[in-house]
Amino acid sequence: MSANQTQPSATYDSAFLKACRREPVPHTPVWFMRQAGRSLPEYRKVREGIPMLESCMRPELVTEITLQPVRRHGVDAAIYFSDIVVPLKAIGIDLDIKPGVGPVVERPIRTRADLAQLRDLTPEDVSYVTEAIGLLTRELGSTPLIGFAGAPFTLASYLVEGGPSRTYENAKAMMYGDPELWADLLDRLADITAAFLKVQIEAGASAVQLFDSWAGALAPVDYRRSVLPASAKVFQAVADHGVPRIHFGVGTGELLGLMGEAGADVVGVDWRVPLDEAARRVGPGKALQGNLDPTVLFASTAAVEAKTREVLDSAAGLEGHVFNLGHGVMPATDPDALTRLVDYVHTRTAR
């Protein structure tokens, strides 16, 4: 069953989904990666005393947090409040999200025997996701909900390193030194990720984003050989679900073509490559998402507007453009600057 046929037509006809499909839009749609989270006082209030992973398992809380930026900023899409490590936790991996650090894995995956930690994900493992998305789609009306997952490489980077890393030395040691083990690890992660995205789409998500946040650490030749097959498997698995598939990473200027090739309908671009140049690298037939530098939001309103005009100007010839930041909202960002930015993009691009 295609999700297109099950969602209300007002959602299907939203500016966000039209832009993803490269159809004409009434205005350029805007949403922000990490729009739900620490930049909002109302988020900090409802999260008080509740650990991050626990908050992801409470459907009412997930619903409230997901809706907060939609109410406050008037963004064109909601993103499901969760984390990339939630499906790994759900299959029993011993991990936690440490405040100010990120995901930490108790027993890193370094050997073939360690692969036994990874079993398939079933919808029952994440029944709270199905429940929360049911609540959310009722509240959201015509605003589309974006589901998401971590891509196999980015998940593997946490699982093999045991936590955040700058160099990915253990992950790369496996990738270069034991390519078979690496391929098997990424293949298992692809199955888990695909199953997790399917749960979200079947529950009512109107689009999905695959976060390969750390893929920019790889040379194109290694990405193509050792990472692209697993990400392509994820995109292929949801290809017949009828929802746009967004593929995002940071520092991926040299990988943009390959990230499109992996099977995305929309390629996310960070702030390092202007969108017109990104379109040349990605090639025809795909929309782009991005790409204001998130630190620009710490500058004056006039400076934010000037940098936003640069993004919009370089997007002028694109087949489809979803306005976003080049990476997530930083926690110290003034929420009012985000609201002003949404208004500015909407007003400036109204057709």
Contact residues for ligand CP3, defined by CB under 6 A: 33-38, 47, 52, 79, 81, 83-84, 97, 99-103, 148, 154, 211, 213, 328
Could you tell me if 151 and 211 are in contact, meaning their C-beta atoms sit under 8 angstroms apart? Answer: yes
Sheet of strand 145-150: strand arrangement: 78-79, 145-150, 207-211, 245-248, 266-268, 287-292, 321-325
Handedness of CA 68, 292, 262, 161 (dihedral sign): negative
Could you tell me if 213 and 326 are in contact, meaning their C-beta atoms sit under 8 angstroms apart? Answer: no
Tokens of 230: 């697993």
Could you tell me if 263 and 239 are in contact, meaning their C-beta atoms sit under 8 angstroms apart? Answer: yes
In the complex, which residue's CB is closest to ligand CP3?
A: 213
Q: Which of residues 4 and 253 has its CB atom nearest to ligand CP3 in the complex?
A: 253
Q: Which of 21, 47, 110, 272 is catalytic?
A: 47
Q: Is 247 annotated as a binding residue?
A: no
Q: Which of 244, 236, 241 is nearest to 201 (CA)?
A: 241
- Is residue 38 annotated as part of the catalytic site, yes or no? yes
Tokens of 255: 């990988």
Q: Is 280 annotated as a binding residue?
A: no
CB of 307 to ligand CP3, least distance (A): 20
CB of 258 to ligand CP3, least distance (A): 18
Q: Which of residues 79 and 205 has its CB atom nearest to ligand CP3 in the complex?
A: 79
Q: Which of 12, 43, 80, 158 is catalytic?
A: 158
Q: Which of residues 162 and 178 has its CB atom nearest to ligand CP3 in the complex?
A: 162
CB of 51 to ligand CP3, least distance (A): 8
Q: How many helices (H) and strands (E) does the chain have?
A: 17, 9
Could you tell me if 66 and 79 are in contact, meaning their C-beta atoms sit under 8 angstroms apart? Answer: yes
Q: Is 268 annotated as a binding residue?
A: no
Q: Which of residues 100 and 284 has its CB atom nearest to ligand CP3 in the complex?
A: 100
The beta-strand segments (E) located in 50-89 are: 78-79
Name the residue type at position 114: D
CB of 50 to ligand CP3, least distance (A): 9
In sequence order, what are the beta bridge partners of 248? 211
Q: Which of residues 83 and 261 has its CB atom nearest to ligand CP3 in the complex?
A: 83
Q: Which of 83, 80, 85, 51 is nearest to 68 (CA)?
A: 80
Q: Is 34 annotated as a binding residue?
A: yes
Q: Is 150 annotated as a binding residue?
A: no
Q: Is 264 annotated as a binding residue?
A: no
CB of 140 to ligand CP3, least distance (A): 14
- Is residue 158 annotated as part of the catalytic site, yes or no? yes
CB of 47 to ligand CP3, least distance (A): 6
Helix residue ranges per DSSP H, 144-227: 152-161, 169-177, 179-203, 220-226
Q: Which of 12, 22, 43, 83 is catalytic?
A: 83
3-state secondary structure of 237: helix
- Is residue 83 annotated as part of the catalytic site, yes or no? yes
Q: Is 158 annotated as a binding residue?
A: yes
Q: Which of residues 16 and 22 has its CB atom nearest to ligand CP3 in the complex?
A: 16
Positions at the binding site: 34-38, 83, 158, 213, 327
Residue set of the binding site for substrate: 34-38, 83, 158, 213, 327
Residues catalogued as catalytic: 34, 38, 47, 83, 158
